[in-house]
Structure 1
Amino acid sequence: MNYAQAKDTLTGHRAQIAALRQQMREVQQAIEPQPVDDYVFQTLDGSVTLSQLFGDKTDLFVIHNMGTGCTSCTMWADGFNGVYDHLASRAAFVLSTPNTPAVQRDFAAGRGWRFPMVSHEGSSFAQDMGYRGENGGWHPGVSVFQKRGDQIVRVSDAELGPGDDFCITYHLFDMIPEGVTAWSPKYAYA
């Protein structure tokens, strides 16, 4: 297939993806929200509840991050750091890990992260939201919550992983004919 033919084919596929995204938005608007508890998290300043994480916003993004032991979760968080101001202008945003607040602070400082972080250590939050496996391991993802009066509801969530909609790295690598190949994220590159 020559370049022009391939480009036309890829443009058609991208149009199909755009149409599918519109269908997903329509389902998202019709979803029945899931009531959730007002979980307690730990920060360097002490305990904070899920409802407090909203600040003055109605919507809240919570990133379920596996913590300092996961290079992929670190890459996703590096990407969120770049768009944090844009996201925070519309909704509250926080990254939740099983690490202690002191470990989070040191790791975030080394990465230059600017967004707020909370520790769900000792809480059932990640498990209740579906981001802890049966073997006890953590899973990455994102949950979106809304505050509706005195009630907190989860209105959507998605797992994070290679090729998802939340990390541009894999999509850019998809434009290289060989794709990702044997590449994997690292904490630092030589």
Structure 2
Amino acid sequence: MSHVTYPNESAEYRKARSALLEEEMALRRHIEAVAAQRRALPPGGEVPQDYRFERIGANGMPETVAMSRLFGPHRTLILYSFMYGPDRDTPCPMCTLLLDSVNGAARHIGQRAALYIVAKSPIARLVAWARERGWAHLQFLSTAGNSYNADYFGDSTKLPAEIRALSGGKPGEEWDDTAFNVFRLDNGTVRHFWGSDLTWAPTEADTDHRSGDAVSALWGLLDMTPEGRGQFMPKLAY
């Protein structure tokens, strides 16, 4: 195939870049194939209860809302479990980085699916952090008082022992965790469609689980650079 060429590049560079391009095209095909396989999943399990969450209502006051009411005009609901429980003084920096990206996309996502960010902290605390961060387009729910995070692995309480060990958890220790879960409303029944199980899968050398990479702009940008990601860890402030 023909290629673009850049000013003053060498034949060695073009040969290596063309070989890389073949791999990038193969990766693109694989990403599309995985997405198609995900879309073809059979119906997932019915949610065990119509979870009740707390949110800030249109009048600016806290209110309780059932999970089945979160879909709005859509049939698809995306919930992201944010690692900012009441035991944390500050939120997880990696989760915060991810939500910096999601905030910018949230207005567009809302045209196709409902999206909420959930955490165990009281709703007032979540909204205060969102305001400080400038997240104008994210909607938050508090899971305080319900078992959603436990049932859908936004915390460690129901993780199998083997996965707890892989995660480095100590006996008796519990923690909140990052998790995306997608739900589908079918004829009045809410079913689980997909979860970010990659969070708890074994990792390759020198990587973390990378289960949220597809929605985080930072990692995609750093992967384009000569330095790559290295050991960079985001901070809440610089």
TM-score higher than 0.5 here? yes
Aligned pair partner of 1:132 in 155, 180, 188: 155
Higher relative contact order (CA 8 A, sep 6+): 1
Q: Is the 8 A contact 2:153 2:179 kept in 1?
A: no
Unaligned runs of 5+ in 2: 1-10, 57-61, 85-89, 158-172, 200-208
Structural mapping, 1:58-73, within 5 Å: 58-67=75-84, 68-73=90-95
Structural mapping, 1:1-190, within 5 Å: 2-32=12-42, 33-36=44-47, 37-44=49-56, 45-67=62-84, 68-113=90-135, 114-134=137-157, 135-158=173-196, 162=210, 164-189=213-238
Unaligned runs of 5+ in 1: none
Normalised to the residue count of structure 2, the TM-score between the two structures is 0.73
Matched letter for residue 76 of structure 2? D
Runs of 4+, deviation exceeding 6 Å = none
Structure 1: distance between partners of 2:18 and 2:177: 37
Aligned residue for 2:53, secondary structure, equals strand
Structure 1: distance between partners of 2:12 and 2:79: 44
Matched letter for residue 63 of structure 1? Y
Normalised to the residue count of structure 1, the TM-score between the two structures is 0.90
User: Which structure's CA Rg is the greater one?
Assistant: 2
Structure 1: distance between partners of 2:20 and 2:45: 37
May I ask how many residue pairs the two structures share in their alignment?
Answer: 189
Matched letter for residue 39 of structure 2? Q
Deviations 1:138-171 (A, max 9, x none): 1112111111122001111215654722212112
C-alpha RMSD over aligned residues: 1.9
**CA shift at 1:58, angstroms?**
1.0
Structure 2: distance between partners of 1:6 and 1:96: 45
**CA shift at 1:9, angstroms?**
2.6
Higher share in strand:
1
